[in-house]
């Protein structure tokens, strides 16, 4: 027996392989266009046995969806997170994709809340992952009806996370400067650029333009964006690079031989260690994303327009900036009300 293979499926499989050898999204898009032109009007068939026709396609369809994410430029970290979610889901419901109903999904989310004690924000993330999968399956016509269609997110109380106090910033930078040229360079770079930790550790020395004090980073979805840094960050970065005697192209490396590229976990561990070097920092959380929040908060407090703040932070949607840092806008509104409304 034979089954006709869809061109989309063939292209997705080929593109998934190409993501391992082609990094630039523009070149991937060009390759995709060439493949569609080459395969136009070409008919392909998959040879099947009587046994294979009865095999559940769930694993293959999930693999194709994850491959499509890679083609769209999603990071390996993101794809792994989605894959892990699907693995747990299908092991729990124990059903093939075509047999899954809205009731199965509702029962699974209830199980996550009651039995696994997942928080609402965690459950909403799972809903988002499954909404993406079933939406794609419906769009690609692997299934006729989307079982996630009428499932809504749980209500979550939004809490704006804390930022540093001005004195804490001074203490952290003093401690980092005393510890090493690398550590103060990292702290200043995070504070003055607002980059994501994944964006920073991927940078190479040659990416830094000291003349214009800027560099290009690749954010979520491999989206390219310029990042700018301050004069003090430039000074500390230059001093750190001039002190190195290794030949690793990475912008930041480990302090011990063989001086490998610094990882996300390496940066987090270094920042955490800073809080243990001065008793005035006892209980103060120091992590990469807190510096990012600090960067955005300082811009908002200086009345930089929200659209520019979103652009500098690399937020694709301005609502991300508004939702996560809206507390500072509300404070401004409160101040204005007290000043102008009698």
Query: Is residue 30 pLDDT above 90, yes or no?
Result: no
pTM of the model: 0.65
Going along the chain from its start, the domains and CATH numbers come out as: 1-55 (no CATH), 59-157 (1.10.150.130), 166-340 (1.10.443.10)
From CA 242, how far away is CA 239, in angstroms rounded? Answer: 5
The better pLDDT of the pair 24, 117 is held by 117
> What are the tens digits of pLDDT across the range 122-178?
999 999 999 999 999 999 999 999 999 989 988 877 666 788 999 999 999 999 999
Residue closest to 171 by CA, chosen among 271, 274, 296, 266:
274
Query: Is residue 48 pLDDT above 80, yes or no?
Result: no
Span 222-226, average pLDDT: 81
Cα–Cα distance list, 12 to 28, 130, 139 (Å): 11, 20, 15
The better pLDDT of the pair 219, 150 is held by 150
pLDDT of residue 157: 72
Please check whether residue 284 is in contact with residue 271, taking contact to mean a CB–CB distance below 8 angstroms.
no
Give the number of other CB atoms < 10 A from CB of residue 151: 15
Share of the chain above pLDDT 70, in %: 79
Question: Average pLDDT, whole number, for the chain?
Answer: 84
Span 318-327, average pLDDT: 69
> What are the tens digits of pLDDT across the range 247-274?
999 999 998 888 999 999 999 999 999 9
């Amino acid at each position: 027996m034979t089954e006709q293979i869809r061109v989309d499926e063939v292209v997705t499989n080929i593109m998934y392989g190409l993501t391992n050898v082609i990094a630039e999204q523009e070149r991937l898009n060009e390759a995709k266009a060439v493949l569609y032109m080459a395969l136009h009007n070409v008919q392909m068939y998959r040879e099947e046995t009587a046994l294979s026709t009865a095999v559940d396609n769930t694993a293959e369809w999930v693999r194709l969806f994850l491959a499509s994410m890679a083609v769209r430029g999603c990071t390996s970290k993101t794809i792994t997170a989605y894959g892990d979610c699907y693995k747990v889901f299908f092991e729990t419901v124990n059903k093939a994709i075509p047999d899954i109903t809205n009731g199965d999904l509702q029962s699974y989310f209830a199980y996550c809340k009651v039995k696994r004690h997942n928080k609402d924000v965690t459950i909403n993330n799972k809903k988002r992952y499954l909404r993406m999968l079933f939406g794609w399956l419906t769009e690609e016509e692997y299934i006729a009806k989307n079982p996630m269609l009428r499932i809504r997110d749980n209500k979550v109380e939004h809490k704006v996370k804390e930022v540093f106090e001005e004195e804490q910033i001074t203490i952290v930078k003093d401690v980092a400067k005393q510890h090493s040229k690398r550590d103060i360079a990292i702290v200043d770079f995070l504070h003055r650029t607002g980059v994501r930790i994944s964006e920073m550790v991927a940078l190479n020395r040659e990416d830094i333009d000291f003349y214009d004090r800027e560099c290009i980073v690749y954010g979520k979805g491999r989206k390219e964006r310029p990042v700018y840094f301050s004069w003090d960050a430039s000074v500390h970065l230059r001093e750190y690079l001039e002190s190195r005697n290794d030949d690793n192209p990475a912008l930041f490396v480990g302090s011990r031989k063989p001086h490998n590229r610094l990882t996300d976990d390496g940066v987090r561990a270094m920042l955490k260690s800073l809080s243990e070097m001065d008793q005035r920092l006892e209980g103060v959380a120091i992590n990469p994303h807190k510096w990012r929040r600090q960067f955005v908060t300082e811009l908002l407090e200086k009345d930089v327009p929200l659209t520019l703040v979103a652009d500098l932070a690399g937020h694709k949607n301005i609502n991300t900036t508004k939702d996560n840092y809206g507390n500072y806008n509300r404070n401004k509104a409160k101040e204005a009300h007290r000043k102008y409304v009698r």
